[in-house]
A and B are shown apart, each in its own frame.
Chain A
């Protein structure tokens, strides 16, 4: 930690970063990007999945519980939001979001129960149940889908205070506000006693228990909060990105993707969730664009598509070899290095120590 004023719990660097990021997200991007593609295909899904990755980060990176099935909770949140909007018309959208998060959290507690008995890779298998059970339940009972025969339902428009948020930029702002609030909340939780409890359980649960931390409470709390984040992320993903709801959209592949986002981004960091989501979501898009724009007509398109997957896989391996602590750490290192060049030499040892 660098210079920290006595009156504030945050380091000065944090506040500057926060201000820069917020200006960028709320002012610079909306004013400079007129293209709907960037909002509706890049920024919105990135923010939604980053939020889900924060959820995964909480349970896995902070509480150390190897859980798989974030997409199941996302589905729960998405379909809860649809049904609340459908059946409780007077409910404001923010209320629907919170409620759907809470419903997902209830599932989180339910499927977090095995964590009290099993751990590690076995817990991962046990939590898979959430993934399959929630999707099965939505598919099995027509009520969740309002008895739609095709099984794909159209998400309602987002209406806040009588104003419909339907344009890409408007929806981006909705997502941005929610993600910002929840991210700040997550950072505060992880830095406070809640997060310290999680990390104590992660690092050594027996020691944590003997210090008076209730394992039951801490683990279930982590599962609940994680599922809450995933639920809200799922609702946003369906309402602002897909604009339709289909259980298949939240399949096991998405759960794995979120898991990879957290691992690649860096376990136990909130920024890692954002960086990891950007990598997993956007890199294939970049590769596909490169392949199709640069090599258009030159190379067999089937080969391009296959090469993209190879390159993506190779990059993942490369990153894991060179920086097993994730891209957040990589970013930290780059920053530290840049700072060490720009500041007087006396500061350098302190930087490296932190």
Chain B
């Protein structure tokens, strides 16, 4: 028998809960623009979630402390996705509207989540901003007007990695007959680079061995034994979450695979991924689409103003300037840049914009070296411009190497050796998608 008071409490909680599910509405006195934050703060992917979304919130706070975007203050609402596709869908629907304002952009920080919501974008008029992740052929803006992968995508990333290998081996001709293992988490994210990698393997004549790891990827022993058997020249490691990524390096050390031949994907290229592996991590290469570091003026300003005022989102302020935090900052800078453009294009300076207007603003992003300088992040990300047709950013990545305590940049921003080749693959893939789904690609001026 349940105590009556407990029963009352349960009933009360249930009533309170149901009434809460409807988000409160109310008119804001000041002009605001609402942004959703579908964060992943718990579970195996918490390191990237807290860093990345923490930076977005920090930057929005920073903008608000400096007068907003032409006076428009930024508001946001969080929702926990746990990097889970089904939960991302729920969060997407929950965050869609707040205080009568519809969200204009969505950033899942996860390829599975991005795939789960990608088909809702056109209908809901929301921009899907994939910062270096997600569906690659969205780079073709004629088929995917609402989806962007500025700051580049996985096909460019794998091509830049192969370029790095070719340079280390002394040219493409030396790549013939080489053996490369692509060890990946068995999810949409892990498989995403494969089409480009297979095409380049055929072109260059190296042998590609694909080894899948079941999520969450903490068990990799048999896969690394296979690596020892195959004796590959290089391993490209495509993991997600600190647990999986650090396990990869400790296992590489165990089977004696040189870390100087191991290249990590951007989502394993953070301090939180390297640290747990200890000494095993030293020498591992990792790619960056936003370089870590605190020396950028914007990073310093946020640290001073936002963290100085005690409004910082990171629990540990030492993570300011870390890989995931800087990456989130790069993404948030693009939101605000797009908002600024949208206000300008549609003559709505000082007013909130709609999804369609925001989309135009996003497409008009021009991150020239001068603009990056003005924003205070020159060098942190590669300069790029978006257009109606081209929805991917610079297509450039920088290689870093872990020296045991921090990342050391070893190459400048590099693009694939043959960008038109990657572009053609994207065009093919997007055209196939358009044909399957009866989409008429729009024409670009």
What 0/1 readout, one digit per residue, does chain B (40-58) give for beta carbons within 8 Å of chain A? 0110001000100000010
B199 CB, min distance to chain A CBs, angstroms: 11
Interface pick from A4-12, A93-101, A122-130, A239-247: A239-247
Kindly state whether residue B20 has any CB partner on chain A within 8 Å. yes
For the complex, what is the distance from the CA of A293 to the CA of B77, rounded to whole Å?
Answer: 8
What 0/1 readout, one digit per residue, does chain B (346-382) give for beta carbons within 8 Å of chain A? 0000000000000000000000000000000000000
Kindly state whether residue A300 has any CB partner on chain B within 8 Å. yes
* Residues of B with C-beta under 8 A to A330: 2
Are A41 and B94 in contact, CB atoms less than 8 angstroms apart?
Answer: yes
Kindly state whether residue B191 has any CB partner on chain A within 8 Å. yes
A254 CB, min distance to chain B CBs, angstroms: 8
Kindly state whether residue B135 has any CB partner on chain A within 8 Å. yes
CB within 8 Å for A41 and B112 given contacts A151-B187, A151-B191, A293-B20: no
Please give the number of chain B residues whose Cβ is less than 8 angstroms from any Cβ of chain A in the complex: 48
Are A249 and B85 in contact, CB atoms less than 8 angstroms apart?
Answer: yes
Are A154 and B119 in contact, CB atoms less than 8 angstroms apart?
Answer: yes
Q: Which of A36, A305, A323 contacts B2 (CB 8 A)?
A: A323
CB within 8 Å for A290 and B188 given contacts A149-B195, A244-B116, A248-B112: no
Are B115 and A292 in contact, CB atoms less than 8 angstroms apart?
Answer: no
Which residue of the partner chain A has the closest CB to B437? A154
B7 CB, min distance to chain A CBs, angstroms: 7
Kindly state whether residue A45 has any CB partner on chain B within 8 Å. yes
Interface pick from A62-70, A199-207, A281-289: A281-289
Considering residues A40, A244, A305, A322, which has the most beta carbons from chain B within 10 angstroms of its beta carbon?
A305
Are A293 and B23 in contact, CB atoms less than 8 angstroms apart?
Answer: yes
B269 CB, min distance to chain A CBs, angstroms: 22
Are B79 and A288 in contact, CB atoms less than 8 angstroms apart?
Answer: yes
Kindly state whether residue A150 has any CB partner on chain B within 8 Å. yes
Kindly state whether residue A309 has any CB partner on chain B within 8 Å. yes
Are A244 and B41 in contact, CB atoms less than 8 angstroms apart?
Answer: no
Are A248 and B41 in contact, CB atoms less than 8 angstroms apart?
Answer: no
CB within 8 Å for A285 and B85 given contacts A246-B115, A323-B2: no
B143 CB, min distance to chain A CBs, angstroms: 13
* Residues of B with C-beta under 8 A to A309: 42
Which residue of the partner chain B has the closest CB to A297? B311
Are B119 and A289 in contact, CB atoms less than 8 angstroms apart?
Answer: no
What 0/1 readout, one digit per residue, does chain B (188-201) give for beta carbons within 8 Å of chain A? 10011011000000
Are B192 and A150 in contact, CB atoms less than 8 angstroms apart?
Answer: yes
For the complex, what is the distance from the CA of A322 to the CA of B10, rounded to whole Å?
Answer: 12
Kindly state whether residue B313 has any CB partner on chain A within 8 Å. yes
Are B93 and A246 in contact, CB atoms less than 8 angstroms apart?
Answer: no
Are B192 and A305 in contact, CB atoms less than 8 angstroms apart?
Answer: no
* Residues of B with C-beta under 8 A to A42: 21
Are B46 and A302 in contact, CB atoms less than 8 angstroms apart?
Answer: yes
Name B401-421 residues within 8 Å CB distance of A. none
Kindly state whether residue A152 has any CB partner on chain B within 8 Å. yes
What 0/1 readout, one digit per residue, does chain A (38-63) give for beta carbons within 8 Å of chain B? 10111001000000000000000000
Kindly state whether residue B207 has any CB partner on chain A within 8 Å. no
Are A151 and B188 in contact, CB atoms less than 8 angstroms apart?
Answer: yes
Are B313 and A286 in contact, CB atoms less than 8 angstroms apart?
Answer: no
Name B128-187 residues within 8 Å CB distance of A. 135, 186-187
* Residues of A with C-beta under 8 A to B86: 45, 241-242, 249
B139 CB, min distance to chain A CBs, angstroms: 14
Are B42 and A334 in contact, CB atoms less than 8 angstroms apart?
Answer: no
Are A244 and B115 in contact, CB atoms less than 8 angstroms apart?
Answer: yes
What 0/1 readout, one digit per residue, does chain B (1-19) give for beta carbons within 8 Å of chain A? 1100011000000000110
Kindly state whether residue B424 has any CB partner on chain A within 8 Å. no
Considering residues B80, B212, B315, which has the most beta carbons from chain A within 10 angstroms of its beta carbon?
B80
What 0/1 readout, one digit per residue, does chain B (79-123) give for beta carbons within 8 Å of chain A? 110000110011001101100000000000000100110011000
A345 CB, min distance to chain B CBs, angstroms: 19
CB within 8 Å for A139 and B315 given contacts A41-B94, A330-B2: no
Are B42 and A289 in contact, CB atoms less than 8 angstroms apart?
Answer: no
Kindly state whether residue A133 has any CB partner on chain B within 8 Å. no
Kindly state whether residue A23 has any CB partner on chain B within 8 Å. no
A153 CB, min distance to chain B CBs, angstroms: 9
Are A37 and B135 in contact, CB atoms less than 8 angstroms apart?
Answer: no
B119 CB, min distance to chain A CBs, angstroms: 6
B42 CB, min distance to chain A CBs, angstroms: 5
Are B315 and A241 in contact, CB atoms less than 8 angstroms apart?
Answer: no
Are A289 and B21 in contact, CB atoms less than 8 angstroms apart?
Answer: yes
For the complex, what is the distance from the CA of A342 to the CA of B11, rounded to whole Å?
Answer: 19
Name B227-274 residues within 8 Å CB distance of A. none
* Residues of A with C-beta under 8 A to B79: 288, 292
A241 CB, min distance to chain B CBs, angstroms: 7
* Residues of A with C-beta under 8 A to B80: 288, 292, 305, 308
Kindly state whether residue A333 has any CB partner on chain B within 8 Å. yes
* Residues of A with C-beta under 8 A to B21: 38, 42, 285-286, 289
CB within 8 Å for A41 and B90 given contacts A150-B135, A289-B20, A309-B42: yes
Are B93 and A139 in contact, CB atoms less than 8 angstroms apart?
Answer: no
Q: Which of B17, B42, B93 contacts A305 (CB 8 A)?
A: B42
Kindly state whether residue B24 has any CB partner on chain A within 8 Å. yes
Write 9 A-B pairs (CB below 8 A) sorted by A numbering: A40-B93, A151-B187, A152-B112, A246-B85, A246-B115, A248-B85, A251-B215, A288-B79, A290-B20
Instruction: List 4 tightest A-B contacts by C-beta distance, closest first.
Output: A41-B93, A152-B115, A305-B41, A286-B17
Q: Which residues of B contact A (CB under 8 A)?
A: 1-2, 6-7, 17-18, 20-24, 39, 41-42, 46, 50, 57, 77-80, 85-86, 89-90, 93-94, 96-97, 112, 115-116, 119-120, 135, 186-188, 191-192, 194-195, 212, 215, 313, 315, 429, 437
